[in-house]
Structure 1
Amino acid sequence: MAAIAESRGEAPAIRNPGLVSMNTRPFLRFVKLPKLLAISLFLFMAVIPPLAVWVAGREIAVEALRTEARILAVVVSRVIGQSPTFWNLTPERLSHVIQGLTPKDCFIDISDIQGNIVLTSGDPPSRPVMSARRFLVDRDEPVGSLTVYGSLRGHLKDTLFTAIVSFAFSIAITVLLWKKILQIMRNAALRVQHGMQRFQMLTELSNDGYWETDADLRFIFLSGGMERIGIKKEVFGGMLITELPFGNTPGVRERLHHMLFAREVFRNLVVNLEIEGRSRWILVSGEPLFDERDAFLGYHGTATDITERKHGEEALRAANAYNRGLLEASVDPLVTISPDGKISDANKATENITGCPREEIIGTNFSSYFTDKAKAEAGYQRVFHDGFIREYGLTLLHKDGFTTPVVYNASLYKDESGEVAGVFAAVRDITERKKAEELRDEIERIVQHDLRSPAVAAITVARALAEDLNLGENERNLMVLLENSGQRMLDTLNQTLVLYKINTGSYKYVATEIDGVAIVREISRAFLLLPGFSKNRISIRVDGKDIQADASFCFFFCDPQLLRLALQNLIQNALEASDQNNEVIINLICNGNIKIEIYNKGAVPIEIRNTFFDKYVTFGKKSGTGIGTYSARIMIEAQGGSIAMQTSDETDETLITIHLPS
């Protein structure tokens, strides 16, 4: 039909798949099997019983005839032995001898030794005939023979009756069996038809396409899934499968052509098709169809649109390339470690710090690259226990033998199912940090010894001279001023060192219980002795009430040195912002949450209100550095506290509030 349609310039008609389009050889053989079974059963039941009756009955009759022949031969042999003139007797007398011995419906003939018949008895039997022959003996010498003939007609009647009964019974059984077989075959056909209908329905509903070709490899069926892919009946119906609009898949057309004409099965063949101006990626599978005579019927198969998956794979490759670029751009060594402690990936920085190429690193033990392998292994196991590790100090060993101090940061990463896939680790070279720490230690040594010593000496001399009773009031005030100046110099050195420790992360907070009122009073007295603030006024309060000489207290925990330095900066700011006619109020709140409030007249300039506590922020001060409020914030926050500023142009006031942990 396809050839006729082609000769007319027509495309083969697109049809629905039926039973003939399936590989029907097994089913056709199944249909033939019941016929052979029914015929074999009929022949067995119709032929075997009569044949068995005939053979068994014939054997019984022949054996009975042989028994009669033996008996007659014995009797006649005795007569011959007793009558030497036996063979000279007349036939009538011989017949009289054996007449009483002849079985019913049998015929007997007696022959001499030469084979001449000398006597017969009885009527010849009707056909079919059976016979039994025995020798006659006289003194153990053969003198003749006796043959008994019988008829099998009666047995033949029994056999025919059995044949008739068997034939009738076999016909009845075969008819019943054939009806049952037909019912089974009809049900099987219905199930096959129902399965084909379900198959056709599924092919129409499925996103995957189902297709069939004829023996000329032209499309004769395209399911709804093929339509959704873009291979429509109106366009591709009757088209040769090798004429599909292949896109950018070199060699695929030739490979498909070879497999089709070799009648080979092909699976998961990825092809690119240009359909309706769009590039589509299709996953195609197919197998040849043959009839029961092994004649080629065509191909059938499936097609799946994997365009989105292809785009996803391309995006994934791009993302992997991007992620790889990020890994390689990192100056820190980065590795991924499998659950068994083996390195599964590494970047270029890892090659540089270990001296080993990436190919050699992958698959080796992570801990083998450190001087203390047990410590490295313990850190790795801690990641599995805690989920992460931070700033874990190790010493990395280069393959050439030199070492690098590093810190190890790592966390677990999981797969899509939420199972732990391994550890992602970053190793940072802290050689420069180590050098900075050494420099810090050197600076601290200089501060503690080279700079602190003169300041401490000045304070000590001033205190010793102030205790001299011969000093006048002015000289005594000068000594106090010298002591305060030395203390401020010492506090400045301490502040510089503390800020350095806080900023480098080496500061360790240790809380001590102190009396806040005593610290505030001491700082206030020191400021009021200075020439610039001698006319200012400071009011100290506890829970809003003025303190009573030395009888007021406010105890809480803090770092005394940090609190002193922070309050010095903030009180100095408040005194500088206020004129001499207005007092600075310092209120300590000790009920519940610990707070220190510093009030002063004068609003903070609007230009620096949002950045008041930032570094190097100052406004309107000729000698301002912008470090005071910044260092106060850093030192308060280092103790777990907080600091805030409120200012008002209407009241021309500023409030600094320090919150400390209770």
Structure 2
Amino acid sequence: MSVIRNSSVERLTAIGFAATLLVLLWVGVIALVHEDSGNRAAVHVLVSIGLLLCFLGGLLLLAKRQARLQAARQSATPAARLLKAGALQDAIFNSVNFSSIATDAQGVIQIFNVGAERMLGYQAADVVDKLTPADISDAQELIVRAGALSDEFTTAIRPGFEALVYKAMRGIEDIYDLTYIRADGTRLPALVSVTALHGPDGRLIGFLLIGTDNTARKQVEAEQALLDQRLRDQQFYTRSLIESNIDPLITTDPCGTISDVNHQMEMLTGRTRDELIGAPFMSCFTEPQRAGEAITRVLRESKVTNYELTALARDGKETVVSFNATTFHDRDRKLQGVFAAARDVTERKHFEHALQETNVELQTAREAAEKANRAKSEFLSSMSHELRTPLNAVLGFAQLMASEVPPPPPRQQRSIDQILKGGWYLLRLINEILDLAMIESGKVTMSQEPMSMTDVLQDCKGMIEPQATKRGISMTFPSFDKVFYIHADRTRVKQVMINLLSNAIKYNASGGSVIVQCVASGTERVRICVKDTGTGLSADHLAQLFQPFNRLGQEDSGEEGTGIGLVVTKQLVELMGGTIGVDSAVGVGTVFWVEFASAQAPALDNIEEVALERRLLQAPESGEQPTLLYVEDNPANLALVEQLIARRGDLKLVTAIDAYLGIELARAYLPDVILMDINLPGMSGYGALKVLRDDPATAHIPVLALSANAVPRDIEKGLEAGFFRYLTKPIRVREFMDALDVALHHAAEIRSGQAPRPASQDHQESKELSC
């Protein structure tokens, strides 16, 4: 009521002052309007007095109002402040965003707010006056914290609640990571602020622990720590790779300034990593300009390999290195620089230089060896000819003496037999030495083609059985009903088998036996075995078996031999792609075996009736058919050509099984065309061609080569030797028939007196037909 009363009085006082001021102003205005000079001074005085009174009244009213407001404020502040403080406390202790835990001075929980209940899963009734914050915290963390605080404050601090509040008790603001143990046993990372609470008298009355959930931050920190660790591991791994490399490694920026090196580069240059980083790349080498060009080239081409530079060490040592370099970029494909790896090639350069010198020496030695080999071959060929000529007379006259009528007396007959025996042995020795020399010089020609092994064994049986019968050795050959075909040279295979059979008879026991077997070995090989019942070979003798001129202790046995037959046999077998082996037991006997690649039986392939039809129409009616002489020792090939010529119908075929017979038949029949195998027994096709060309009676006859030697060099060699055409096996019928037509046409031109085609044209067509 007093407040209301004071307000009314103040209001009335203000109204009075305002009315007085208005009256005075009105009087003054009237006086001024009537311009009463006598009253003007009085009016001024009255107005001034009125204004002064109004001002003083206003001040009085303002002072009284201010005093009233101050009194009212002093009377209302305590209650409002208490109300506001209570509201704030309720908001803080009931917030769910953070936990508030207040304890007494001994650490027993007194306040456990709603945020603490939700975060930790406990009800306030479960912990208030019962537990301390240490009871719901990670004990191991408290032990660690106590140890850390003990080291910091040089005093022993017990784990538990003391470790939680030790800093707060000393007025040190403390915020740290704490792990709470929830009611369900799970763990909650929290960021906790610990504050000491004091009473009005300054006495410690408790502690306040305010915490926030730190799980998200911990996860982020853990992920970041994991990324940092991976980055460190990757950096360590990358650095380890760089440092463990045996080659010097170096990186530069695009300007050629070194940005990193490994330890090997430090050793190469004799400078530390710190000294090298920031230095120009070209400063590490004896030719700076060339080293700079290397960086420029890498930047231009993105890659350079085997770029040789000479590294210059601090102590002046020079090392030749081969650089492989490439550019590298960041994840945005922006060029970062050049990465280069250098390999020390000093030793390799020395080796290459030495090798070059050695190659020169080897080339010189090879040329000398080839020259010596040619000289040896020429010498052996010459000696063979020189030895055969007188030996021919010796053997010829000895045979004449042995065949005289009446026969010579027994004493003289024994002398003649010894002459013949020594002569034939000497001839065999000459042949074997010449064969070995030709094999070693690589001049043996092979005509490998499908051939019947059964036919070869049948021929060998007829040739070897008289020798076996003479010595009382029984021979057993496989049945000739089953035919085995191999891919080899018929003449050389027969030579191999005769040698093996002769040895089996020669070194057999008296009354012994020789067994020959021919069987399939797997799906692609044929094995031929020659088993004897001789004394057998020891392990030492087996190791020396294929050594030239080594007769394995048989020198005094009375058996003739040179010690090179098996050497020639082995080399011939291997030249034909075969293998040779031996199994032997002392006192039991020996088995020699050879294997060759199996083959299909030769057949007439690609025969086209159209290709033969026009030849049948051209057959002359007079019966005078052109003659074809075919010189071939392989029965299968003979049969094949016989079939082809029979189906053609316009040629008469004459055949010979070796070059000598072929030459005689050529001279006797003067055939229109001669078809000749290259690899013939006794004399090759080349030798026969030379004899025919040297004889005026046969020099004009076109001679076609037909051989299994089908490599381009063989074909070129045959054409250069003078063959009219060079045909290869297996026979391509159309090509074969066309070649015969050209040869027959050529022969007809010669008979008619027309000039034959130029040899160069024939030669060119021969190459076209043979390709």
TM range (shorter): 0.3 to 0.5
Q: Which has the higher helix share?
A: 2
Q: Which has the higher strand share?
A: 1
The TM-score, its normalising length taken from structure 2, stands at 0.34
| Larger relative contact order (CA 8 Å, sep ≥ 6) | 1
The TM-score, its normalising length taken from structure 1, stands at 0.38
